[in-house]
Structure 1
């Protein structure tokens, strides 16, 4: 049987989990006497006072509660599943509780006559943990059905392996339990009575099976995917070189042409008359410019002489 997975594993927020979180936050601040007496009555169990405070907080706000999912107005059933689940998880001498028939009478004593929970029998679920876990799993799945359906029909949502397993496991669980309770030789009448109660309003016979197709990438185990990436991309040193490769290409594209030009000029100057021609050409050009400069200076001096001579 698949226990309710965390939101991180399924990739979505499940209404059933959110509903139980709502109840976990209800605390009564006026129940110290009642809860201290319950602690004495259940002295073999741990965390009794904390459970009692929350349970009393829930009862005091019973008619104000509202929930998410397929059955937002089914306060009685949600509270019952919360209560039974918390009672089964009360540690007794370091061990988990598997049977709560000796606890239920003590819990009944902390419900007051004026508590407004008329029409809600909080104590008609199976007292055996194995039977209760099955019923809770099916009820939670029915609560979450509409939300899951909405997500997987959204083209932007990518179904993951955990959600696919959650759907398939709960579908198989429902089919198996329905078959057990349809047999004439029912081993547990009480269990099947609760199943029938849930099946009629909450888990319909014609409920279409949800299809959640996992993408090929997500079928990898996380460790396998880790090794696969290393096989494809190599060790960190190589990855680092890959990331720096584009910048290196830019540098080489600039340096190689410059080196080619220098090498070409070196060959011309070393093994051809180009060096002598260039030298004589530059020398000739320098001499011409020198004479042009001298002529310009001489012309300037002559003009200055004539001008100055006229003014004397």
Structure 2
């Protein structure tokens, strides 16, 4: 069992939110095959739920409304990797059985796997009585993936480097979003590859990508003011164009949402989930109905919300 201190419990539940990238600037392709990014994250009220139970080894199973049959349950699963990394840090000699209820679309650009990992860190920290502080958990999160630290922190934040170097951003009030899901996910590496190919093909016609991108100051101003109209005018995602090339039907979704009352729409992360910003709860409800009538799966959420937390 755990070598840490504190009271252990036989099962612990935690939740962590999905995210929307309200701004995502992608830097030039680097020698190591990666890109630096500058992103403004907002955590929204669409959660992954994780229950961690005592077990002799490590396992994970999935449930929930999001189709999950093809998800790996082996050692490469991000939640399993999170639990194993925490066990090494805490010198835990037992395992854990993880039960994950999925609500964030898989391969949808909203960080669902990262939310699973963040909630797993919080749940296992409690299950094993390790009493590690947030900074220690963030150190582990940064080793797991670019979006895991933000799923742990939540709220609104600026992410730089690979997206894992976080600084909190002031955000006033509440923003209303409607998410439109696609019928199948997109591979993040495929979307980045399509971006690189486009930039190389049109190098003579477009400005070169910055090595170190930055978040547009208008985005920060809109978040600080809690002004949905101002934020709508500054939504930007460098991965949107390649996502549209890989999944052309997204263009119709964007057009439909904006024609049906959204202030603006943007592909979240590497897509293909489209996030529509609305000016009020009422307009968000109306948009959700319009998109659902058009046979799209649409979910109404608000942001910002806190990051990974225990559930009593």
Q: Relative to total residues, which structure has the larger strand share, 1 or 2?
A: 2
Q: Relative contact order: is structure 1 or structure 2 higher (C-alpha 8 Å, sep ≥ 6)?
A: 2
Q: Which has the larger radius of gyration?
A: 1
TM-score (norm: length of structure 2) = 0.22
TM-score (norm: length of structure 1) = 0.22
